[in-house]
Structure 1
Amino acid sequence: MSLYWRILLLNAAVLVVAVLLLLGPVTVSTPVLPGEALVLGAGLIAMLVANAVLLRIGLAPLQRLSRAMITADLLRPGSRLAVSGPGEMAELTKTFNKMLDRLEAERAASSARVLSAQEAERHRIAQELHDEIGQTLTAVLLQLKHSADQAPAALRDELGQVQEATRASLDEIRRIARRLRPGVLEELGLHSALRSLAAEFTTRGLSARAYISPGLPPQSEEAELVLYRVAQEGLTNVARHAGARAVEVHLSCGPAGGIGLLIRDNGQGIGQAPEGAGIRGMRERALLIGAELTIRPGPSGGTDVLLDVPEAKGAHS
């Protein structure tokens, strides 16, 4: 029986009983006698209580469904509402769960297309920086050196300063190109890429170290790229926002035959700050390979960023 008919029939039954009482042994006098007022008041209270109880019981599945709709997050997939309640509510819950399945699949597919296009664009920009601007600045450096060798002594110092500024610009462009396109990942693999990334983020105020466990299972190229990008974004967040003095990158075996990436810093922690675009980007990348991203307080302060990658299928060796 539908929710509508259950509420309607109970209300009708309560009203019929009230009318029968008024037409039978109980009558209303003018003025109203105390006994009649008591019976009528009791009947009114009984109707209100019965309606409140039925509505609470009947609408409880709808309230659970409403909370699930409000809290649903496509970046944290897998959460489904248990099917319960009468027929209509059960069907509505099943429809909602199917809608979440479809939305998560579509979100994962669209994110994969967007991130693939983003990687291709990064590759193109890095190539242009290296081939065009890098070669141009290299030629400028050679010309400056040639000019400095032939210039009067009074101009050599100024030309030397221009050389240093140009060389610093060239190094910065190369660094940007390496971050846009992790060539070391393609050439030497994930382990060397993570060590190189940690060394890149090591500065006078921040110590970054990478710890790679031996005997790790092989990963697909897509999984290695996701691991690298999550580590890169995590280290970037530490350098920009954490106020940390040290950060560690751990790559180790996961609990179910997969692989786990842990980025742990000793900074001020994430607190109650909302997740920004960087963390959302990490979650989207994790979805591409079915991984789970967890951000939690560290054991001794700071923040832990943990990426659990499931066991690889069809991974290259």
Structure 2
Amino acid sequence: MDNIYLLIFYSVLAIFILVTFFLVLYIRNQNMVWQQRKLFQDTEIQQQKQLLSAVIDSQEIERKRIGEDLHDEVGGTLSAIKLMLNAAMRQYNPADQEVILPAKQLIDKMIVDVRNIAHDLSPPGLAMFGLYTSIEGFVSLINKTGELEIAISNELTTEEKLLSEKAELALFRVITQLIANTLKHANATKIEICFKELENTLEIVYQDNGKGFDVAVLDERKGIGMQNIMSRLQMINATYTLETSLDKGFKMTISCLLDS
């Protein structure tokens, strides 16, 4: 009788050991599968970032080339035409000058427009003066149009460059795209942009008093502008939060780690 009990005990023990063994093998196998899947996802994300970075870099090179061509070639040609018109005005009587003067005024406007477009394509002061000063210059151009009021504030504790040139260029593009979105879609009268330095992080708060939108439908209505914003922030490992709702304006807070 005791032998039967012992046999049953050892049988149950053997089954328990086998089940435990196979359970451990299963968990270990699932662990390996999960790690491989995570490694694959991380590799895929890294490859996507590298591809995105290469695409944006090539876009910036082309923007810079076009901006320089506009500034040097087209701007130079317009300036030469303006000089010719000035010379013509000195040679003709006042009646003829009245015909030439509107053309000269139009040339003056075109020179300013070309310069602004060239600076937008390739901001000349970014590498030398940094992100805040470049945004300040861009904002002053928008304020002169009278379309809306943009207030910009600086709560940074230093005037030194805090980010790499690539990160600053990405943030410059993001902020100018946000301003463009507000101008096109928000029916806003005011924009506020604040630069802050929190520990080892640069924080940029952008908000307008426009009509806003429902965040729940953001993915459905996400246009190219918003996609570009998110892609550029992802490329420099910046994070962001959105606060908006219908008739409550729009607010985006961007956080980017400072260069050590």
Aligned partners of 2:209 and 2:248 also within 8 Å: yes
* Structure 1 gap ranges (5+): 1-84
1 CA distance for matches of 2:118 and 2:80?
Answer: 18
Asked if residue 311 in structure 1 is aligned to residue 252 in structure 2, the reply is no
Q: Which one of the candidate residues 276, 294, 299 is aligned to 2:223?
A: 276
Q: Which one of the candidate residues 222, 225, 228 is aligned to 2:169?
A: 225
* Offset of residue 223 of structure 1: 1.9
1 CA distance for matches of 2:104 and 2:97?
Answer: 10
Residue 204 of structure 2: aligned partner: 261
* Offset of residue 240 of structure 1: 1.4
* Offset of residue 191 of structure 1: 2.1
Residue 14 of structure 2: aligned partner: none
Aligned partners of 2:213 and 2:247 also within 8 Å: no
2 CA distance for matches of 1:299 and 1:307?
Answer: 21
Letter matched to residue 206 of structure 2: I
Identity of aligned residues (%): 24
Q: Which one of the candidate residues 201, 215, 219 is aligned to 2:157?
A: 215
Letter matched to residue 172 of structure 1: D
* Structure 2 gap ranges (5+): 1-25
Letter matched to residue 136 of structure 1: T
Residue 8 of structure 2: aligned partner: none
* Offset of residue 96 of structure 1: 3.5
Letter matched to residue 311 of structure 1: L
Residue 199 of structure 1: aligned partner: 140
Letter matched to residue 207 of structure 1: E
1 CA distance for matches of 2:259 and 2:247?
Answer: 32
Q: Which has the higher contact order (CA 8 A, sep 6+)?
A: 2
Q: Which one of the candidate residues 201, 225, 247 is aligned to 2:191?
A: 247
* Offset of residue 162 of structure 1: 0.5
Residue 23 of structure 2: aligned partner: none
Where does 1:46-57 land on structure 2 (aligned, <5 Å)? none
TM-score normalized with structure 1 length: 0.66
2 CA distance for matches of 1:93 and 1:269?
Answer: 41
Bigger Rg over Cα? 1
Aligned partners of 1:195 and 1:209 also within 8 Å: no
Asked if residue 290 in structure 1 is aligned to residue 233 in structure 2, the reply is no
Cα deviation, 1:4-30, whole Å, max 9, x if unaligned, reads: xxxxxxxxxxxxxxxxxxxxxxxxxxx
Q: Which one of the candidate residues 161, 165, 168 is aligned to 2:106?
A: 165
- Answer with 300-309 or 236-245: which moved more: 300-309
1 CA distance for matches of 2:204 and 2:129?
Answer: 18
Q: How many residues align?
A: 228
Aligned partners of 1:227 and 1:261 also within 8 Å: no
* Offset of residue 204 of structure 1: 1.9
Q: Determine helix, strand or coil for the equivalent of 2:65.
A: helix
Letter matched to residue 233 of structure 2: A
Letter matched to residue 183 of structure 1: P
The structure in which a higher percent of residues are helix is 2
* Offset of residue 197 of structure 1: 1.8
Cα deviation, 1:42-75, whole Å, max 9, x if unaligned, reads: xxxxxxxxxxxxxxxxxxxxxxxxxxxxxxxxxx
Q: Determine helix, strand or coil for the equivalent of 1:211.
A: strand
2 CA distance for matches of 1:170 and 1:278?
Answer: 28
Distance change in 2, residues 1:188/1:278 (3 Å): same
Q: Determine helix, strand or coil for the equivalent of 1:183.
A: coil
Distance change in 2, residues 1:94/1:204 (3 Å): same
